[in-house]
Amino acid sequence: MEAILPQLLLAAWLLPLLSFVVILLAGARMGEGGRGAGYLATLAVGVSCVLSIIALVWWLGHHPLGGHGGHSEVLTGDWYTLAQFESLRFSVGYYVDSLTLGMFVMVTFIAFWIHVYSFGYMHEELHDVHDPFVTGADGRNLVRPGRFHRFYQYLSLFCFSMLGLVVANNLFMVFAFWELVGICSYFLIGFYVERPSATLASNKAFIVNRVGDFGMIIGLATFLFACGTLHYAMPGNASEHHPGLFSIVKDATNQLQDKNNAASSHEGTPTNVGHEKAGGSSGLETANKIERNRALTPVLLTLAGLALFCGCIGKSAQFPLHVWLPDAMEGPTPVSALIHAATMVAAGVYLVARIYPLLTADALLVVALVGTITLFLAATMAVVATDIKRVLAYSTISQLGYMMLGLGVGGWVAGLFHLFTHAFFKALLFLGSGSVIHACGTNEMPAMGGLWRKMPWTAATMLVGCLAISGAGIPLVIGLSGYYSKDAILAQTFLFHRMNPLFGWMFYVALGVAGVTAFYMFRLWFLVFWGKPRDEHVAHHAHESPRTMVAALVVLAVLSVVSGWTVPGTSWGITSLLEQSRVTPATETGTLQSAVALRIPDEHASHEHTIHAWVSGLAFLAALIGFGIAAVFYGIRWLDPEDVRQRFRGVWELLAQRWYIDQIYDAVFVRNALRLAAVAAWIDRNIIDWLADHAALSVRRLSQWDDWIDRIFVDGAVNALAAGIYDMGIRLRRWQAGKIRVYIMWIVIGIVALFIIGTIYLGIGANISRG
């Protein structure tokens, strides 16, 4: 029976891929302007959504909610092996627990409504598009064919990649789909390829993500090296296979704990973590394992976990790699809603949650710190931004920071809960802003105002979104979804504050930023919908969006309200669903030698009523203050924000320039990388080539010398000999005069001379005379 679940998910996962392939090949031929592509993609993701819901229901039927975490069964297995080298296996497989299913439903559901919404938003692309942001060399705006089908093609690919990332049962597969969602994001940010700003933003997004992925590769390599596998848990019978990452790390840390408990007097035995597991395998493998696991020291484990977290920093736009997300708003607004708010950027948070059992307390502290810094920085930037989408982008970064903080301080469920609720209300806010932009044709909030009357549905749903993100609710009674999830994070942080006083400031920062969140969200709402129209032209053209868009808004608004609630009369809800697959970190206390003792609090402790009441009240107060300030400045306009801006010019400039982080990166990394590249090219041209050319030249020079020596000495000697003989011949020629008389005379003289010589020296004459 269990076999049906992987098959359901496989179908849900591959349907968008099928849609992608069909649109890729058939493309523009699918109906007028490629409209059929939209239907196909929407159908595919809709069916995926239905399949996911069926899978979830099936799962809940077998694993009823309400239990406590850590004991839930996990269904894991491989679909397909990419490569295998001895025991190192790289495969595509599934790891199904309630979190996976929850993510599946959430992703496909939001994706489905965004597909629907895009029919309205992208309808321009059905015919030739007149792009007002691109001016050709002839001074006219560019007119290009529509790319409706391309948009849906990328969306389908994205859905496939995102689902692949969620369902993955090993880090290798996660990494592969991690990159794939990155490339989908690249394509969709740069959807308007004619706009230089869009292509620049897409490049930036991908390259910044790659910086994170660089760390992630290191993390993967470390785990592969230290544990010999990248699977979370090995499919099948554990005795036949090597254990998965989770159990290896668990064994390692357990052994560590045992070791410590067994007192320090017992010295000398190495930490053969995972030794027991290795018991059944052959001698060689045992040796391998001992050797390898010996490398799995807490330091290495922490570093490896952090290296993996680097990938999450990049994908979830955390400080210091947050710079790409605001620029990514160049893409069409549905994309911003789906990818850059609800799903892809949350993948980083999802991954941290997935690899939670691999993270030590020290690594979690870093996660929390990064989250805190991010949520603060991003919120401050959002305060001064005027581009409606950028405000939302900063807000997204800030909320992702909350999730990281939640996870980092031990609130596994809290962080993920916020991921789900945030997905709904942030998608809603983005779609609402898309509706506004669609109506106004501009992103600038100062040009809007008073749109409440023109587009009531949008205004109302946006208000719901703002309330949800601000965490509105009646403390301890009822609230919107954001109220629950944010309170859960804050409560956990408060608990962390109690246990680790040194890091208490994180709680206050998070609390303060909750107020700031309310401020900038209502600033946005007031600026756009409240008051009087500031630009007659814009206001005149504004109109309510088509029904497809409004439908999506309403559905998401409803979910933004209710997604935090439990089913009446039971404790069933997103939290109990997540609670089912809750995991604990690798260590709950700090393992590194540091000045501070670190303890990650247990999540259940934060459910304590007193803590909850306290934190809830404080958060509500903060949000109320934020709302109040926004209302004072932008709602009833008792105060003019311009005055404040003038007075705090420096601060305003700092925030508007995003703390100058982009400029610093540009100066430090981009410029230097380019400079280094130029140096490499210079070395190539001027040193290596110079050497090669001069080696060749010097050989040529040598050969010229050789040639010279050849001609002067070797040839010279031969020529001199020949010349001498020639000269002698010339000289002898005179004797060879052709005068027979002379010859005869010489003959005679010669004979006489021979005779004389013979006589004198050889005594021939003497013999003759004697004879």
Partner 1 sequence: MILAGILSPITVTHYLVVGIILFVCGIVCLVVKRNIIAMLIGVELILNGANINLVAFSSPQLFASGTAPLLLDGQVFALFVMILAAAEAAVALAIALQFYSRFGTVDVDQGGQLNG
Partner 2 sequence: MAGLIFLSAIVFLPALGALILLFFPASAETAIRRITLGITLVVFLMTLRLVFPGDGPAGETLLERSIHDVRFVAGEPGYQHALAVPWIRSFNIEYFLGIDGISLPLVLLTSFLSLLAAAASWSVTKHVKAYSVLFLLLETGMLGVFLALDFFLFYVFWEVMLLPMYFLIGIWGGPRKEYAAIKFFLFTLVGSVLMLIALLMLYFASDVRKLPEEARRQSLLSSEVMVKSLAPGDKPLHTFNLVALAKLGQMPDSPFNEPAWLGKSIAWWAFLLLLVGFLIKVPSVPVHTWLPDAHVEAPTPISMILAGILLKMGGYGIIRICYPICPQGAYELAWFVCGLGVVSMVYGALAAMAQQDFKRLVAYSSVSHMGYVVLGLGAWSLVPGVWDTQYWKMGMNGAMFQMIAHGISSAGMFFMVGVLYDRVHHRDLDKFGGIFGKMPAYTALAIVIFFAALGLPGLCGFIGEVLVIFAAFSYSRVLAIIGASVVILTAGYILWTVRRVYLGAEYRGPHAEALTPLTLREFTVGATLAVAAVVFGVFPQTVFHYMAPSVNRTVDEMAQWMKAVSVNVVESAAEETPEKVRHESTVVLDNLSSEVLEAGSQR
Smallest gap from Cβ 215 to partner 2, in A, equals 8
Rg (CA), the chain: 40
C-beta closer to partner 1: residue 718 or 745? 745
Buried residues in 385-398 as b, exposed as e (16+ CB within 10 A)? bebbbbbbbbbbbb
**In this chain, which of 238, 664, 667, 673 binds partner 2, going by CB under 8 A?**
673
Q: Tell how strand 473-474 and strand 141-144 pair up.
A: unpaired
Q: Which part of the chain contacts partner 2 (CB under 8 A), choosing from 39-47, 136-144, 319-327, 720-728?
A: 136-144
Smallest gap from Cβ 159 to partner 2, in A, equals 15
Under the binding rule (CB under 8 A), the answer on residue 688 touching partner 2 is yes
Under the binding rule (CB under 8 A), the answer on residue 165 touching partner 2 is no
C-beta closer to partner 1: residue 1 or 740? 740
Under the binding rule (CB under 8 A), the answer on residue 220 touching partner 2 is yes
Smallest gap from Cβ 557 to partner 2, in A, equals 36
Q: Which part of the chain contacts partner 1 (CB under 8 A), choosing from 33-41, 364-372, 671-679, 742-750?
A: 742-750
The 3-state secondary structure of 759-771 reads HHHHCHHHHHHHC
Smallest gap from Cβ 128 to partner 2, in A, equals 12
> 87 contacts which partner out of partner 2, partner 1, none, CB within 5 to 8 A by kind?
partner 2
727 — phi, psi (to 5°)?
-60, -45
Under the binding rule (CB under 8 A), the answer on residue 143 touching partner 2 is no
**In this chain, which of 258, 736, 757, 767 binds partner 1, going by CB under 8 A?**
736
Question: How many chain residues are in contact with partner 2, going by CB under 8 A?
Answer: 85
Question: How many chain residues are in contact with partner 1, going by CB under 8 A?
Answer: 10
C-beta closer to partner 2: residue 35 or 195? 195
**In this chain, which of 71, 731, 741, 770 binds partner 1, going by CB under 8 A?**
741
Q: Which part of the chain contacts partner 1 (CB under 8 A), choosing from 105-113, 389-397, 636-644, 731-739?
A: 731-739
CB 192 within 8 A of CB 122: no
C-beta closer to partner 1: residue 295 or 749? 749
Q: Please tell me the distance from the alpha carbon of residue 418 to that of residue 488, in angstroms, as a whole number.
A: 8
| SS3 category, 542 | coil
| SS3 category, 589 | strand
Q: Which part of the chain contacts partner 1 (CB under 8 A), choosing from 162-170, 590-598, 683-691, 740-748?
A: 740-748
Bond from prior residue into 320 cis (ω within 30 degrees of 0): yes
What x-and-dash track marks residues 566-595 binding partner 2 by CB under 8 A? -----------------------xxxxx--
Per-residue DSSP letters for 70-110?
Answer: T----EEEEEEEEEEETTEEEEEEEEESHHHHHHHHHHHHH
Rounded to 5°, angle at Cα 7 from 171 and 54? 105
Under the binding rule (CB under 8 A), the answer on residue 14 touching partner 2 is no
**In this chain, which of 128, 291, 643, 666 binds partner 2, going by CB under 8 A?**
291
Under the binding rule (CB under 8 A), the answer on residue 271 touching partner 2 is yes
> 727 contacts which partner out of partner 1, partner 2, none, CB within 5 to 8 A by kind?
none
Q: Which part of the chain contacts partner 1 (CB under 8 A), choosing from 103-111, 190-198, 559-567, 737-745?
A: 737-745
| SS3 category, 142 | strand
Under the binding rule (CB under 8 A), the answer on residue 195 touching partner 2 is yes
Under the binding rule (CB under 8 A), the answer on residue 259 touching partner 2 is yes
CA separation, residue 687 to residues 168, 626, 702 (Å) = 48, 62, 21
> 372 contacts which partner out of partner 1, partner 2, none, CB within 5 to 8 A by kind?
none
Smallest gap from Cβ 771 to partner 1, in A, equals 10
CB 189 within 8 A of CB 201: yes
C-beta closer to partner 2: residue 240 or 642? 240
Q: Please tell me the distance from the alpha carbon of residue 30 to that of residue 600, in angstroms, as a whole number.
A: 55
Smallest gap from Cβ 220 to partner 2, in A, equals 7
Which residues, 6+ apart, have CB-to-CB distance to 164 below 8 Å? 13, 92, 173, 176, 177, 180
The 3-state secondary structure of 740-760 reads HHHHHHHHHHHHHHHHHHHHH
Smallest gap from Cβ 37 to partner 2, in A, equals 15
Smallest gap from Cβ 711 to partner 1, in A, equals 32
Under the binding rule (CB under 8 A), the answer on residue 740 touching partner 1 is yes
> 569 contacts which partner out of partner 1, partner 2, none, CB within 5 to 8 A by kind?
none
Under the binding rule (CB under 8 A), the answer on residue 737 touching partner 1 is yes
| SS3 category, 170 | strand
Under the binding rule (CB under 8 A), the answer on residue 767 touching partner 1 is no
Under the binding rule (CB under 8 A), the answer on residue 733 touching partner 1 is yes
Please list every residue from 58 through 117 that binds partner 2, using CB under 8 A.
Answer: 81-88, 90
Q: Please tell me the distance from the alpha carbon of residue 89 to that of residue 164, in angstroms, as a whole number.
A: 18
C-beta closer to partner 2: residue 160 or 319? 160
Rounded to 5°, angle at Cα 465 from 460 and 471? 130
Q: Please tell me the distance from the alpha carbon of residue 363 to that of residue 306, in angstroms, as a whole number.
A: 6
Please list every residue from 483 through 542 that binds partner 2, using CB under 8 A.
Answer: none
Among 330, 321, 517, 335, residue whose Cα is nearest residue 418: 517
Q: Please tell me the distance from the alpha carbon of residue 335 to that of residue 493, in angstroms, as a whole number.
A: 32
Under the binding rule (CB under 8 A), the answer on residue 183 touching partner 2 is yes
Buried residues in 736-764 as b, exposed as e (16+ CB within 10 A)? eeeeeeeeeeeeeeeeeeeeeeeeeeeee
C-beta closer to partner 1: residue 699 or 751? 751
CA separation, residue 306 to residues 313, 314, 356 (Å) = 10, 12, 11
CB 597 within 8 A of CB 472: no
**In this chain, which of 739, 761, 769, 770 binds partner 1, going by CB under 8 A?**
739
Q: Please tell me the distance from the alpha carbon of residue 43 to that of residue 119, in angstroms, as a whole number.
A: 13
Under the binding rule (CB under 8 A), the answer on residue 748 touching partner 1 is yes
> 737 contacts which partner out of partner 2, partner 1, none, CB within 5 to 8 A by kind?
partner 1
Task: Please give the DSSP secondary-structure letter assigned to residue 27.
Answer: G
Supply 376's token pair: 């603060």
Smallest gap from Cβ 693 to partner 1, in A, equals 57
CB 436 within 8 A of CB 448: yes
**In this chain, which of 15, 134, 370, 468 binds partner 2, going by CB under 8 A?**
134
**In this chain, which of 113, 154, 186, 494 binds partner 2, going by CB under 8 A?**
186
Under the binding rule (CB under 8 A), the answer on residue 203 touching partner 2 is yes
> 597 contacts which partner out of partner 2, partner 1, none, CB within 5 to 8 A by kind?
partner 2
**In this chain, which of 238, 744, 754, 766 binds partner 1, going by CB under 8 A?**
744
> 72 contacts which partner out of partner 1, partner 2, none, CB within 5 to 8 A by kind?
none
Q: Which part of the chain contacts partner 1 (CB under 8 A), choosing from 115-123, 130-138, 419-427, 736-744?
A: 736-744
C-beta closer to partner 1: residue 25 or 740? 740
Q: Please tell me the distance from the alpha carbon of residue 640 to that of residue 256, in angstroms, as a whole number.
A: 61
Smallest gap from Cβ 77 to partner 2, in A, equals 18
266 — phi, psi (to 5°)?
-85, 90
CA separation, residue 83 to residues 176, 178, 227, 236 (Å) = 14, 19, 17, 18
Query: In one letter, which amino acid is 754?
Result: L
Among 396, 423, 518, residue whose Cα is nearest residue 466: 518
Smallest gap from Cβ 662 to partner 2, in A, equals 16
Site of interaction with partner 1 (CB under 8 A): 733, 736-741, 744-745, 748
